[in-house]
Chain A
Amino acid sequence: MSKFKSKKDNALPAVNTASLPDIVFMLLFFFMVVTVMREDTLLIENRLPLADQVEKLEKKNPISYIYAGKPTAAYKKFGTEARLQLNDKFAEISDIQAFIDAERAALREEALIPYMTISLKVDKEANMGIVSDIKQELREANALKINYTVGTGSALDN
């Protein structure tokens, strides 16, 4: 009996992995399409509050980002109070006007200046003091279109 039975029959047949590259490619393409490279490296904590009456930020108009929040653990030496971040570094409130001017100068067309939106990405733990100061500086710089960027969810859960 055992003479005719080959050893091979006992072992489980190997799973066919020929379609594995196809599956992986499919996932790969998905992530390649949805990927947006991070614009700024965040030095601060940035958990956005939630709201449900949101409008989409229109990509066709130029957007500048202003971040604020508590410095992350790696930057503890800057304190625990909410700080302002412009581009890739910490900034003072007084730097905002120069920042807005630089952003405006970087635009392709001058005609776009009135459409420039300032997206405020502020950590939900931050105080309104820093936000009020930012808003006042933006008024001084005549950059009046702002957007409080938030996550989508019920505002009552904040």
Chain B
Amino acid sequence: MAKRSAPEVNAGSMADIAFLLLIFFLVTTTIPKDSGINRKLPPIEENDEDVVIKQKNIFTVLLNNKDQLLVEDELMELKDLRAAAIKFLDNGGDGTCDYCNGEKDPSSSDNPDKAIISLKNERETSYSAYISVQNELVAAYNDLRNKRALQIGPSKGFRDMDFVMMEKNYKDVKFLGNKDKLKAVIDQIREEYPEKLSEVYSK
């Protein structure tokens, strides 16, 4: 008996099936927004003794119920907050901070280790205003750390890498450089510009 070739499968409806699946995935897809500002909450501990902090080492940021920004008791626009925070943190008033580029004003903060930013908001403050302020304060720290990273990076073998980039590379599994060395640089910068942000719980 003569061998008959198998009849060809009709693939005309393939496109329809693929379209159906495509539309299903189109509808169910949500591109996740998975980035944000990481924060660490302070643990609850019974601490009766008051720590005395000099007034000049505290940078008070108050956000009122109309989303107005009050920095060191003066009204301020959001766009000026970053520069003001950098000026305060980088002041180096007592002269112990040899990497600071500030004005060394004795009436402002002593050194970045002592400088504390105190953020206070009211219950009626909107969340978006709060996030904007948080963002600007984080940006102030990042700016200072980036500058420092570009200064000390080249001598440690990390040329043209700012602090944000260093952290990113440290987390990146594909990074080819020496991670232990990178970690040491990151820790050093973190120590030089520690993030001291205190928030007041508004009841």
Binding site for B on A (CB under 8 A): 17, 20-21, 24-25, 27-28, 31-32, 34-38, 48-59, 117, 119-120, 122-129, 131-132, 135-136, 138-140, 142-152, 155-156, 158
Binding site for A on B (CB under 8 A): 11, 14-15, 18-19, 21-22, 25-26, 28-44, 63, 78-79, 121-132, 134-136, 138-139, 142, 167, 171, 201-203
- Inter-chain CB contacts under 8 Å: number: 165
| Nearest neighbor of B123 in chain A, beta-carbon distance | A129
Contacts of A128 in B (CB 8 A): 63, 121-127, 130, 202
Docked CA distance A100–B77 (Å)? 38
Q: Among the listed B14, B26, B79, which residue makes an inter-chain contact with A31, where contact means beta carbons less than 8 Å apart?
A: B26
Contacts of B28 in A (CB 8 A): 35, 37-38
Residue contact B126 to A125, C-beta cutoff 8 Å: yes
Residue contact A127 to B18, C-beta cutoff 8 Å: no
A-side interface mostly: mixed
Residue contact B135 to A127, C-beta cutoff 8 Å: no
Residue contact A155 to B21, C-beta cutoff 8 Å: no
Contacts of A55 in B (CB 8 A): 35-38, 167
Nearest-neighbour CB distance to chain A for B148, whole angstroms, equals 17
Q: Among the listed B14, B138, B171, which residue makes an inter-chain contact with A21, where contact means beta carbons less than 8 Å apart?
A: B14
Residue contact B39 to A28, C-beta cutoff 8 Å: no
Docked CA distance A70–B203 (Å)? 21
Nearest-neighbour CB distance to chain A for B188, whole angstroms, equals 20
Q: Among the listed B25, B36, B130, B135, which residue makes an inter-chain contact with A35, where contact means beta carbons less than 8 Å apart?
A: B25
Residue contact B35 to A56, C-beta cutoff 8 Å: yes
Nearest-neighbour CB distance to chain A for B199, whole angstroms, equals 8
Nearest-neighbour CB distance to chain A for B203, whole angstroms, equals 8
Residue contact A158 to B44, C-beta cutoff 8 Å: no
Contacts of B33 in A (CB 8 A): 48, 149-152
Contacts of A152 in B (CB 8 A): 33, 35
| Nearest neighbor of A54 in chain B, beta-carbon distance | B35
Contacts of B44 in A (CB 8 A): 139-140, 142
